[in-house]
Structure 1
Amino acid sequence: VLGDRDELAQVVQNLMDNALRYGRSGKRIEVSLAPAEKGGKPFVRLTVRDFGPGIAKEHLPRLTERFYRVDAAASRARGGTGLGLAIVKHIVNRHQGSLSIESELGHGSSFSVLLPVAPAPVRSR
Structure 2
Amino acid sequence: MYKRALVLASLAVGLAWGQDFAKLSDEELLKIAGTLPASQALNYRMEVVKRLRSLDEEHQKEFKKAFGQSARANLSKMSWKEFSHMREQVRKHLAKAKKKYSPKELEAMGLNIDICTGKERRVWCAPKSSH
Do both proteins adopt the same fold according to a TM-score greater than 0.5, normalized to the shorter chain? Answer: no
Structure (1 or 2) with the larger CA radius of gyration: 1
- Larger helix percent: 2
- The TM-score bracket by the shorter chain reads under 0.3
- Larger strand percent: 1
Could you say which structure has the greater relative contact order, defined with CA pairs below 8 angstroms and 6 or more residues apart?
1
